[in-house]
Structure 1
Amino acid sequence: MCRWAAYLGEAVFLEDIITAPCHSLIAQSHCAQEAKSPTNGDGFGLAWYGDRPEPGLYRDILPAWSDPNLKSLCRQIKSGLFLAHVRASTGGATSRMNCHPFISGRWSFMHNGQIGGFEKIRRALENSLSDEVFDQREGTTDSELFFLLMIDEGLSTDPQGAVSRGTSRVLEASHRAGIEPSLKLTTAFSDGQALHAVRYATDDHAPTLYTSAFRNGGRCVVSEPFDRDGGEWQAIPPASFVTMTADGTSIRPFAPATNKLAVVG
Structure 2
Amino acid sequence: MCRWIAYTGEPIYLDRLVTKPDHSLVVQSLNSKMNFTNSGQLLSTNGDGFGIGWYDSRYEPGVFKDDLPAWHNNNLQSLCHQVKAHTFMAHVRATTTGDIQRTNCHPFAYQNWLFQHNGHVSHFSKIRRELQLCIAPELFSELRGSTDSETFFLLALTYGLMEKPKQALQKMVARILESLLKVDKDGVLNLSCAISDGKNLYTLRFSHGEAPMTQFYSTHSACLEDLEAENCQMPTNSTVVVSEPLDTFGDKWTEIANNTFTSIHDSQVEIETFWDG
Structure 1 runs, 4 residues or longer, greater than 4 Å off: none
- The 3-state SS of whatever aligns with 1:128 is coil
Which residue of 51, 76, 80 maps to 1:74? 80
Structure 1 unaligned regions, length at least 5: 259-265
Which residue of 79, 86, 91 maps to 1:85? 91
- The 3-state SS of whatever aligns with 2:133 is helix
TM-score calculated relative to the size of structure 1: 0.94
1:51 shift after superposition? 1.2
Taking a change above 3 Å as real, the CA distance of residues 229 and 92 of structure 1, as seen in their structure-2 partners, is: closer
Distance (Å, rounded) in 1 between the aligned partners of 2:250 and 2:274: 29
Residue 14 of structure 1 aligns with which residue?
A: 14
Question: C-alpha root-mean-square deviation of aligned residues, in Å?
Answer: 1.3
C-alpha contact 1:21 1:226 (8 A) present in aligned 2: yes
Within the alignment, does 1:140 sit opposite 2:146 as a pair? yes
Taking a change above 3 Å as real, the CA distance of residues 73 and 35 of structure 1, as seen in their structure-2 partners, is: same
Structure 1 range deviating more: 224-233 or 126-135 = 224-233
Aligned pairs, how many?
Answer: 257
Distance (Å, rounded) in 2 between the aligned partners of 1:189 and 1:167: 15
- The 3-state SS of whatever aligns with 1:181 is coil
Q: After superposition, where does 1:158-237 map in structure 2 within 5 Å?
A: 158-213=164-219, 214-228=234-248, 232-237=252-257
Greater percentage in helix: 1
1:230 shift after superposition? 7.4
1:229 shift after superposition? 6.7
1:181 shift after superposition? 3.2
C-alpha contact 1:212 1:231 (8 A) present in aligned 2: no
C-alpha contact 2:187 2:209 (8 A) present in aligned 1: no
1:121 shift after superposition? 0.3
- The 3-state SS of whatever aligns with 2:128 is helix
Structure 2 unaligned regions, length at least 5: 37-42, 220-233
Give me the identity figure in percent: 41
Within the alignment, does 1:129 sit opposite 2:131 as a pair? no
Q: After superposition, where does 1:33-44 map in structure 2 within 5 Å?
A: 33-36=33-36, 37-44=43-50
Taking a change above 3 Å as real, the CA distance of residues 141 and 10 of structure 1, as seen in their structure-2 partners, is: same
